[in-house]
Each structure stands twice: as C-alpha cells, then as structure tokens.
Chains A and B, each alone.
Chain A
Amino acid sequence: MAANNFRHALFCAFITLIISYPIIGFNLEAQGINVTLTGADATTIVMVLLAAVIVFLFQMFREQIMGGLKSIPHPLPQSNKEPMAENRRAKIESWVLTGIVVLALFWPFFVSRGSVDLATLVLIYVMLALGLNVVVGLAGLLDLGYVAFYAVGAYTFALLSQYTGISFWLALPIGALLAALFGLVLGFPVLRLRGDYLAIVTLGFGEIIRILLNNWTTLTGGPNGIGGIPDPTLFGMEFGRRVKEEGNTSFHETFGIAYSGEHKVIFLYLIALVLAVFTALVIRRFMRMPVGRAWEALREDEIAARSLGLSRTAVKLSAFTIGAFFAGFAGTVFASKQGFISPESFVFLESAIILAIVVLGGMGSQIGVVLAAIAVTILPELAREFSEYRMLIFGAAMVLMMVWRPQGLMPMRRIHIELKRQE
C-alpha cells in the first residue's frame, strides 16, 4: 500500500514537473527579429521544483491530510438540527430579504460613487442570473448563448435613442419585449435538441448575434459601438451637469443643490434595485404557478412530463421567452449605465460568467444567485492588487468551487409541506 502510494506520489510529482517546467521554465523572447529561448530566473525554477515537491507530499500523505481537513469544522455547517418548520422558515426568509432590500435602499447615500457603480453592476448581473436561472436552473435547458438576449436589450435602447431619441422608461419595456421575441425565435430550432447539442446551438446563436452586431456597421456602428446613450430621467428632470434635451430641467437646479456626479449614479442604482426586486418577485410567482412547476417537471424527467400531458413546446418556449425578457431589462440598464455599448461586451465569456453565477448560487435558488452575483463581481475587485493574476485566480476559483461545493452556495429548497410526525 505504502509502496503504491509512493509510486503514485512520485508519478504525480513528475507530471507536475512536466506540465510546469517547459512552459514556465523557458521564456520565448523576441530578440530583434528572431525568437530565442532564455532560461527563466532562479526563483521561478525553484518555485516549479517546490510545486512538484508539494504535490509529491500531498499525494503521499493524502489520507492523513484529508482526514485532518475533515475534522476542521465546516464553515457552512450542514445543519444537524432539524430543519425549521416550513412556514417559520419562509417568514424568516421574507423578513431577511425585506431587511436587505431596505438596507440596499439607504446604503448608496453613504458610500462613494465607485461603490454604488459597482453595486449597480452587481444588480445587473443579478437580473441576468435570475433570468438564466429560469432557463437553466428551473427548466434544465443548457443555454450557453444567453448573452445574445442581453445584447438585444442593450442595442435596442441604444439604437432607439440614436434614431428616435426615446427615453429610458419607454425603451425598457420595448427592449425587454424584443429580447423575449428573440428568445422565442431561438426556442424553435432547439425544441428537439437534448443536452449538449442544445448547449452548442445556443452558443452558436450567441456568437451569431455578436458577429452580426459587429459587422452590420451601417445599423449598429459595428466595432465602434453606439455612444451617447442617455441616462434615465425623473419626471423630466435630467441628472447631468448640463441639460441635454430641450424642455427638460436639471435635477440639481430644481432642488437647488450643487451638482454632483453621484446623483446620476445613485438614481440608476435605485432603478436597478427596483428592477432586480421586480424580477425576483415575478420569477418567484412563476415558480409557484403551473408554468414554473412545468419547467421543473421538464427538467427532472422530460418523458414523464410529456406523458402527463405537458406540451414540451410550450414549456421550453415559455422558459426561453421569460428568461430572455429579463435579460432585456438588464441590457437596457447596462446601456444606460455605460452610456456606450459595443459588441465587445457581449462575448461568450459573459455567458460563461452568468452561467457560473447560476451554478455557484445553487441552481433554482434565488438567494444563492444573488450571493453568487455579489461574489463574482466583487471578488475580482478585491483582488485588484494582484491584477496580473486576477483571471488566473478567477479560473482556479471556478474549478475549486465546483469541486468543493457543487451544489452551490445556497441550494434550492423546493417548496414543500412537511407532515408532522405521529408520536
């Protein structure tokens, strides 16, 4: 046993050396016009060897180490106590959520502009993740091209504002409805596809939309994107330093306060908050309605669902459409926040990040999704000190999260009734 372990550990260490030494140990450098190889400096080589040694030791003493780790109390303890009675839990949950929302309403007035801006971005991701949650988490349809609907929402607002000068409030429902239409359109060709075929087709759809946006320069401005997207107004009051549209007054003038860039940012944050809460509530409603039940039924067992009379077409299409609708909301807010959009913001990596948020949060679970969105958006900011290693850490974190806690931060608890035990 020990000998086996030893051989295995040696093998692992050897593999570590092979995968790290050639790539890290040699640097390809362009000297003038030729490419030459230079050995890496001593510290790097030492690090590589150290890594191999660590791997060796870990594999050798794996059982002891794993045993030791298990005895450390788990940071998120699986409750050994009885789960709370359902109605009590639901009440506590709703109080907590209301408390969070109220806090979120007053918080922006006390922090810097940057934090509010970041929070708005988090809220946008929350909306996106909640929408994707419907498609992936509830209905079990693997959608890798969700970013397409996001793009449709954003570009609708941008184009409308460019050609017709429409305001944010009008563009919001239009963008969402148009995105929902695209969701419907995507739904049709994928009706018959299962699992991973669905994944690649949706991915393809997302890419097609992005490429079309990039190439159709006459309509969408191509790679230049579209700028000058207006901020939302409050009953005709604008939040800029100078009023851009005729007939509008300026917010700070109407209230007689000094101009501050923060007003604009806080207002948009509040709008995003309202929309996010709206999204969460609406989807929660859907989950309790027959539609939501049908989604979950489809996810669990498509054949059983069909045999019970559920129309596969209606269920799938409704999932896509409703998911896309909320992406449209998020897109409109995003366009207004940035003032400028370009196809670069809608690449596959975005879809992957939104998907990661859904999975990280625990599929189907709304609170988990919110937590995950906060984590995914804020953690890279905290790691700005290591800016070079940021993406590396992000990738590693994704893998680690999946290995360590694949059910997500707060796995969904299905609405259920518990029967009291007969003593």
Chain B
Amino acid sequence: MQDLLYFSQQLINGLTIGSTYALIAIGYTMVYGIIGMINFAHGEIYMIGAYTALIAITGLTALGLAWLPLILIVALLCAMIVSSSMGWAVERVAYRPVRGRHRLIPLISAIGMSIFLQNYVHLAQGSRNIGFPALIDGGFNFGSGDGFQMSLSYMQITIFITTLICMTALSLFISRSRTGRACRAVSQDLGMANLLGIDTNRIISATFVIGAALAAVAGLLLGMYYGSVDPLFGFIAGLKAFTAAVLGGIGSIPGAMLGGLILGVAESMTSGYLSGEYKDVISFSLLILILLFKPTGLLGKPEVEKI
C-alpha cells in the first residue's frame, strides 16, 4: 500500500509538472505549425506573464482587496494582456522581417530576443528570486497515520482543471471557429491561404498572441504552485516545454499535451526512483529514443517531401 501511495504521489507530481509543460508547449507547437520556426523567446514570455501576475497580485493586495477569486481573475487578465502584447510585439519586431529566409536566421533572431527579454526583466526588476504568495492552500491527504501520506493539493487540482479547460477551449477554437479554420489553412499551405484571401499576417500574429496568453496562464499557476520568480527561470521551462512539444510531434496540439505529460511523468519517476541528478539526462535520452523510432514525434504527421 505504501509503495502504491508513493507511486501515485510521484505520478501526480509528474502529471502536474507535465500539464504545465503542456501549456507552454502549445505556444511552441502552434508557432512551429504555422510558420515553421522555433520561438526561443517563448519561455521568456511565460516568465513575463508570471512577473506581471505577481505585480498585479501584490498591487491588489496592497490596495486592500481580499476576495481571492477577484484577485486571481484580475491578475490572470493582466498577465494575459501583457504577455499577449509582448508576444505580438516580438513577432512584429524579430520574426516578421525575417520570415521566409533560411531557417537559421529566425532562430538566431529568436535566441537574441530571448537574451534581450531576460536582461530586460533583470534590469527592470533585479536579479533576486522574489517570492510568490501561495494563494491557494491546502489539499487532501490520503493514507493512514505512520506511513506515507499521499497529498493532493488544491493547487495541483487547479492546475489540472485549468490545463484541461484551456486545451479543450483551444481545440474547439481551432476546429470550430473561423479564425481557427484559417489557422489550420495557414499551417497547411501559407501561399495558398494567401491566395484564398486569408490575411496570413493577422493569423500569424493571432497564433503568437494565443500562445502567449496560454503561457501567461501557466506563469500565474506555476508562480503560485512553486513559489518564486526570477528573470532566468523562463529559459529552462521553455527548453523543457520545447522538448515536450517535439516529443509529442511538433505542430500537433494534442501532441504537445501528450508530450508534456510524458515528459513530466518521466522526470518525476526518475527523481523518485533513481536520482534527481539525472532527471534531465533521462528526459533528453527519452526524446532521442522516441525520435529514433518515430522521427516526427509521437503524434507528429510524417513530413511529406515534395520534390
């Protein structure tokens, strides 16, 4: 029973981290699906979302507001607005001018943007780790007295549910709405979509904005769950999320979710049963292994090369 509880606990931990990777991974996968480039600055957008949420929360509590749902919603909106604007601006400044060039050029531009944003926040807010208040506390405990007690915190449940809602909303948006249809069209064939009268520039901007908004959600959730923010944590999270997106098949939204969950669980299990020191090694090795057998990722569409 003990072992089962321990296993379930690590599983829950893994699924939680995994959901957060999934939320961020969607931004990567959507952008890649549409314009075929890796948005290295996406991790920084997530970080900016977290900072904005913290600023909003601190400001609201200082003003005397105490009702939790209101604080959270306002903070979420602020974070989403700032992140989306940042995503839009980054696309206009760093990616649109170089669209269509050789693949490496937007990549370097993205890396440069990532460095710029990290240092932007560093200069503006200082380099220290700043604590994020734990607004949602408490949880359930399973297991008896002496032995291992499995805990499922409200925060973890919130993360699951929010991720699920976001995923569903996004899938519905992509499959049902007009803009969603346009997104799918542009990701299939940019030139043709242009010819058919779709304003591809707007659609591409919209993709960045949506991805950024989701990253902001992740920023708020994770800030509350983990407990601190600093200017550099976006990069590592972004890298993991990108790995998750590739794992699941880049360009595929369900793939991002699946990749995120698998990566999260793999990390958690490695930490729990082997050693925390090698969890990144295992994650990357897992990626290499999967790509050996499925070169386009788990749910990725095999790329058809036209001669």
Contact = CB atoms under 8 A, between A and B. Distances in A.
A and B together in one complex: yes
Interface string B239-265: 100110010001000000000000000
A195 interface: yes
A406 B105 contact: yes
Contact of A192 (B52, B54, B58, B295): B295
Interface stretch (B5-13, B79-87, B165-173): B79-87
A195 B296 CA distance: 11
Given A19-B82, A403-B109, A392 B62 contact: no
Given A22-B82, A27-B125, A28-B130, A359 B108 contact: yes
A360 B105 CA distance: 9
B116 A15 contact: no
A196 B55 CA distance: 36
A395 B125 contact: no
Given A15-B88, A200-B287, A359-B104, A23 B246 contact: no
A392 B118 CA distance: 8
A142 B40 CA distance: 15
Interface string A188-200: 0100111111011
A56 B34 CA distance: 29
A215 interface: yes
A197 B109 contact: no
Nearest to A214: B277
Nearest to B279: A211
Given A18-B85, A392-B120, A398-B111, A23 B93 contact: no
Contacts of B124: 23-24, 27
Contacts of A136: 104
Nearest to B83: A19
Contacts of B284: 204-205, 207-208
A397 interface: yes
Interface stretch (A30-38, A173-181, A275-283): A30-38
Contacts of A352: 108, 111
A303 interface: yes
Residue among B36, B98, B120, B239 facing the most chain A CB atoms (10 A cut-off): B120
Interface in B278-298: 278, 280-281, 284-285, 287-288, 291-292, 295-297
- Interface of chain B, helix or strand or loop or mixed? helix
Interface size range on A against B = 35 or more
B115 interface: yes
A103 interface: no
A208 B283 CA distance: 9
A406 B113 contact: no
B59 interface: yes
B89 interface: yes
Given A204-B287, A406-B105, A37 B59 contact: yes
A211 B117 CA distance: 26
B149 interface: no
B112 interface: yes
B62 A28 contact: no
Contact of B277 (A208, A215, A348): A215
Nearest to A404: B97
Nearest to B121: A23
Nearest to A389: B123
B266 to A, nearest CB: 13
Nearest to B117: A395
A398 B112 contact: yes
Interface string B193-210: 000000000000000000
Nearest to A18: B85
A194 B246 CA distance: 12
Contacts of B51: 23, 28
A361 to B, nearest CB: 12
Residue among A28, A36, A352 facing the most chain B CB atoms (10 A cut-off): A28
B54 A28 contact: yes
Contact of A303 (B56, B292, B305): B305
B78 interface: yes
A58 to B, nearest CB: 12
A353 B86 CA distance: 24
A304 B297 CA distance: 25
A37 B288 contact: no
A19 B98 contact: no
Nearest to B250: A196
Contact of B108 (A19, A37, A402): A402
9 contacts: A18-B82, A27-B125, A136-B104, A142-B107, A197-B295, A207-B284, A355-B111, A394-B115, A399-B116
Given A22-B52, A30-B130, A401-B108, 9 more contacts: A15-B89, A196-B32, A205-B284, A352-B108, A352-B111, A391-B119, A394-B112, A398-B116, A402-B94
